[in-house]
Structure 1
Amino acid sequence: MQILLTLSSSDPEIKWNTVRFGNFLLNAGEEVTIFLNGPSVDLTKGDCADYPIAEQAKLFTLSEGVLAA
């Protein structure tokens, strides 16, 4: 199944959880695209030890997930 997640928040926790959910879906065999809208376009802004957004985004793209803006 093809799944589209739309992310439009600048909150680091929400960005981190969205990408983690995308990774979960990819591991379940789904085709996943995350559309970055508005303030979420700078996806790694807010990356920190509590919310390692960059690490999750790297895993997402290496697992053939698609990031679109």
Structure 2
Amino acid sequence: MKVAMVICQDTPEVIWNAFRLGNMMLEGMDDVSIFLNGPSVRYEESDSQQFPLKELARIFTLSEGQLFA
């Protein structure tokens, strides 16, 4: 299945859940793309111990997920 997600918020929990879902779908051999729009482009600024956004994004791209901004 091909899935595209669009994230338009800068809320760390929303971005974190999108990357988690994308990574789970990639494990199931789906094609996943995430498009960061507006304030979500600055997701790295919201990286924290509670919401490790940089690490999830790294795993997503290394697992052949497509990340657009």
TM-score normalised per structure 2: 0.95
Residue 15 of structure 2 aligns to a residue in which SS?
helix
User: Partners in 2 of 1:52 and 1:18 — Cα distance?
Assistant: 12
How far apart are the structure 2 equivalents of 1:49 and 1:68? 24
Q: CA RMSD in A?
A: 0.7
The structure carrying a bigger helix percent of its residues is: 2
Runs of 4+ in 1 over 3 A off after TM superposition: none
Q: How does 1:1-69 map to 2 (within 5 A)?
A: 1-69=1-69
Q: How many residue pairs were aligned? A: 69
Q: Secondary structure at the match of 2:67?
A: strand
Where do 5+ consecutive residues of structure 2 fail to align? none
**Whole-angstrom CA distance in 2 between matches of 1:8 and 1:16:** 13
Identity %: 43
